[in-house]
Amino acid sequence: MYIDTSIKNKFLFFTARLALCKVFIGFFILAGTSYGNEKPKTDLIFELNARLIEESGIVHWFETKFPDLKKWAKEVENEYRSYVKIFKPIGLEKESFISFKFSISGLEELLGYQRHLDDQDGEFHIDMNLIMDKPVDLFDFFNWMEMEFTKQFGQEGTNRLLKKAVLDKDSLFFSIPLNVLDDHPLINFARWGGANLQIEINVEKKGTTIFLSLCRTDTSLCDANFTVHRVLSEVLLTMPDDRQISFYCRLPKAFLDRNLNGDDRFTPFATILVGIEEVALSVSFRESSIFTKSTFIFSHPDAARAVHSMVDSYMSMAGVALSHDSDARALFIPLKKIQSNLHDHRIEYSLDLNDQDLEEMIALSLSAVAPPPPVFMKPKRGAEKRGSVAPDFEIPLIDGGSFKLGYNRGKVVILHFWSTRSGPSTRSFPLIIRALEPFSSAEIVLLAINHDEPVDVIKEFISDNNAAHLSTARDVSLKVSKIYDVKAMPHTVLIDQEGVIQNISVGFSPFLDVDLKKTLTRLLQ
């Protein structure tokens, strides 16, 4: 079947937000053991500006180029929303979210100092900031929250949780000491010590801001502007200013001690990790491309040089392997475009994929999972004609005149035998039209040959595919079809400028346009 090959932006944002929820919940639980004797540094930051992504040129290109994914993405989104009850009481839609910010402090204590679990004087922080462009009804939301809490903790537990809540039409604030839930039958909060969960929601005419903080003290509410990010090390300064997605992590020193033992320390993966102190990743959705950049800060220049050399070697070997693996052709495109730079103790990797790269990658990804055509779709006699001179013929065109192959020497000629009764034909035709878009009609001729369908049916299909300018013929007697041994449709013959058959393809392939475009580019060089 015909599948428009791209990534639908709404599905991307839905998937990203779902992933963010999972990440947040996971770190929220883990941070319960992140206690130390001093105020911890910021160890992890994630920021996403969904609105700027949606407004980028490359996303608009996806919207226009590949509309067929919209219905599928909407179905997935609706299925997900049926499990998320909070949308309705908040009064928001997914499209209302503008940006998301999330940070964690204390990862080293979390991974390396479990003995401080009972230390009631230490601090840890998890902060989250959500900004929406629509005001919520706080009273409706608070009533819903009370009902949900009552289901989980009973009326008495809910009263204890929300007794300090402050609510008016413009703001909602409450702080929950988690030790009041020590006796909850399903959740063990004793390990959180004196931690507090604080939530503040502020509503203005044009939007809503939610601040959430899990911390030791009542005063450690989430910083709305995340000013702490400005004092981080050089790693974030290497990121492009137009990024919409940012990730930063200070790799805890205790990580290797807890996860690598004995000979594991000498594996290639361990060698890479040993010297890394900080990691940053950014994604920029631009006018006609997606740009990603990764930066790694090492403890010493020697470690950076060693890792840079090793990774470059692995990438070279991977490139050779992928170039010979038809199922992995999509991965070869970004691999060969990765740029690496070594600066003292810092390594930077960047990747810029334009719209043509993305289109080709997705087409090739689909080809890896597409079922092979039936055996009868590949007649041996057709394969034997590759490299031979194409037999000459003349056939009348449906709009008058005729087409004679011999008169088109000096041009690349594509003979495409098709039928509207053939599903593979109707799916292949748009791919061929798309492949021809970058080329001039003075260099390439496409002859679409139908058998015996009514002229009005043929013209309607041609018009629907914006191909009225192409040459179209009816081979009612099957004379030309017999010459080129057409047994099944679609059947495509590619003839070069010298009249030699370069390729014959039979049946539908989701990467037909990609392969055809490559071959045409080679022939016209």
pLDDT digits (tens, 9 = 90+) for 68-105: 666 666 666 666 555 556 666 666 666 677 888 888 77
Percent of the chain with pLDDT over 70: 65
Strands (E), 228-275: 245-250
The whole-number average pLDDT for the span 16-31 is 36
Q: State yes or no: pLDDT of 348 exceeds 80.
A: yes
Q: Which has the closest alpha carbon to 481: 513, 449, 504?
A: 449
Q: Which has the closest alpha carbon to 477: 393, 416, 407?
A: 393
pLDDT by residue (tens digit) across 255-264? 666 666 655 5
Taking all residues of the chain, what is their mean pLDDT, rounded to a whole number? Answer: 75
Q: Return the residue matching tokens 């890792």.
A: 307
Q: State yes or no: pLDDT of 464 exceeds 60.
A: yes
CA 483 to chain centre: 46
The whole-number average pLDDT for the span 466-473 is 84
The whole-number average pLDDT for the span 477-483 is 90
What's the pLDDT score for residue 103?
82
What's the pLDDT score for residue 11?
38
Candidate ranges 11-25, 169-183, 281-295, 507-521; pick with highest mean pLDDT: 281-295
Q: Which residues pair with 385 in a beta bridge?
A: none
Q: State yes or no: pLDDT of 501 exceeds 50.
A: yes
- 3-7, 54-58, 320-324, 336-340: least confident range: 3-7
What's the pLDDT score for residue 225?
37
CA angle 376, 379, 383 (to 5 degrees): 150
Comparing 306 with 193, the larger pLDDT belongs to 306
The whole-number average pLDDT for the span 356-376 is 63
What's the pLDDT score for residue 132?
86
pLDDT by residue (tens digit) across 274-305? 778 889 999 999 999 999 999 999 888 888 88
Cβ-based burial of 168 (10 A; exposed 0-12, middle 13-18, buried ≥19): exposed
What's the pLDDT score for residue 413?
93
What's the pLDDT score for residue 411?
92
The whole-number average pLDDT for the span 19-45 is 45
For 407, which DSSP code?
A: G
Comparing 281 with 116, the larger pLDDT belongs to 281
Q: State yes or no: pLDDT of 20 exceeds 90.
A: no
* Homologous superfamily in CATH for domain 374-523: Glutaredoxin (3.40.30.10)
- 142-151, 346-355, 393-402: least confident range: 142-151
Distance separating alpha carbons of residues 231 and 45, to the nearest angstrom:
13
Comparing 86 with 56, the larger pLDDT belongs to 56
Distance separating alpha carbons of residues 50 and 16, to the nearest angstrom:
9
Distance separating alpha carbons of residues 41 and 105, to the nearest angstrom:
6
The whole-number average pLDDT for the span 366-372 is 54
Domain ranges in the chain?
9-225, 232-369, 374-523
What's the pLDDT score for residue 327?
63
Cα-based distances in Å from 15 to 8, 80, 390: 11, 10, 50
Could you tell me the pTM of the whole model?
A: 0.59
CA 393 to chain centre: 48
Cis before residue 334, ω within 30 degrees of 0? no
Q: State yes or no: pLDDT of 452 exceeds 60.
A: yes
- For 123-140, b/e burial (b = at least 16 CB within 10 A) is bbbbbbbbbbebbbebee
Q: What is the 3-state secondary structure (H, E, C) of 52-95?
A: HHHCCHHHHHHHHHCCCHHHHHHHHHHHHHCCCCCHHHHCCCHH
What's the pLDDT score for residue 289?
93
The whole-number average pLDDT for the span 466-488 is 87
Comparing 188 with 5, the larger pLDDT belongs to 188
Q: State yes or no: pLDDT of 30 exceeds 50.
A: no
> How are strands ordered across the β-sheet holding 412-417?
471-474, 444-450, 412-417, 491-495, 501-506
Q: Write the single-letter amino acid at 198.
A: Q
